[in-house]
Amino acid sequence: MEITANMVKELREKTGAGIMDCKKALAETKGDIVAAIEYLRRKGIAKASQKAGRAAQEGLVGAYIHQGGRIGVLVEVNCETDFVARTDDFQGLVKDIAMQIAASNPLYVSRGDVPEELIEKEKEVYRAQALESGKPEHVAERIVEGRMEKFFQEICLLEQPFIKDTNMTVEDLIKSYIAKLGENILVRRFARFEVGKED
């Protein structure tokens, strides 16, 4: 199949990848745009994992106010250089992350931040529910594992489905920007405020 300039342009607009990367992705996937996006995402994630160990000391604090001032978010997102922090792409990412926090109300950045006692307490509740419903022990353990994955997806920002594209997680989104911008990016911390609600 012939790869046209319009196909390359469309893929480039959807992914932010370079022209040559887009051409290669379309050639590999025989012109299938959806498959090409997935191909680039996998490639981007591979690139992103190589950058994950690098120090990210620059960045921005982003703010987002939602619903007529009833919900507000502050989030610190770090990158490696001030140059990248000033780009429209990075600023857009910070805004999207702040909107995600406003909409989905995560409690932690990642599962590594969740206190061990909270994890154990949740496991006990799920295990007791499964056993009370008459499930055998080995089945109950599998149920607990599944429910814990769902629990982490609800409370951990990086594991939540991204509100603008639920086919990817927030972590996938960040990795796509790591590949695009060529720097390590991480969410350092956030605070979410809602009128009338206690912490």
Q: Which residues contact 11 (CB under 8 A, 6 or more apart)?
A: 17, 22, 25, 26, 33, 36, 37, 40
What phi-psi label fits residue 35: left (phi over 0), alpha (psi between -120 and 50 degrees) or beta?
alpha
Q: Mean pLDDT, to the nearest integer, of 161-186?
A: 92
CATH number at residue 140: 1.10.286.20
CA Rg value for the chain? 20
Shared-domain flag, residues 39 and 131: no
Judgement on whether residues 23 and 93 belong to the same structural domain of the protein: no
Closest C-alpha among 101, 107, 94 to residue 155: 107
Same domain, yes or no: 27 and 93: no
Instruction: Looking at the structure, tell me whether residues 106 and 122 fall in a common domain.
Output: no
Q: Which residue has 């409370």 as its token pair?
A: 155
pLDDT digits (tens, 9 = 90+) for 9-35: 888 777 666 677 788 888 888 888 888
The percent of residues in the chain predicted with pLDDT above 70, rounded, is 90
pLDDT at 96: 96
pLDDT band (50, 70, 90) for residue 46? very low
Is 159 a residue whose pLDDT tops 60?
Answer: yes
Quick check: 74 pLDDT over 60?
Answer: yes
Q: Which domain holds residue 25?
A: 5-51
Give the pTM. 0.69
- For 116-152, the pLDDT digits (tens) are 999 999 988 888 888 888 887 878 888 888 899 999 9
Neighbours of 123 (CB within 10 A): 16
63 plus 146 within the same structural domain = no
Q: In this model, does residue 199 exceed pLDDT 60?
A: no
Same-domain check for residues 190 and 130: no
Domain tally, the chain: 3
Q: What is the pLDDT of residue 104?
A: 94
Residue 199, domain member (yes or no) = no
Look up tokens 């990817």; give the residue: 168
Has residue 90 been placed in a domain? Answer: yes
Is the distance from CB of 159 to CB of 171 less than 8 angstroms? yes
Q: Are residues 69 and 165 in the same domain?
A: yes
Q: Are residues 65 and 82 in the same domain?
A: yes
| Adjacent-strand bridge partners of 169 | 161
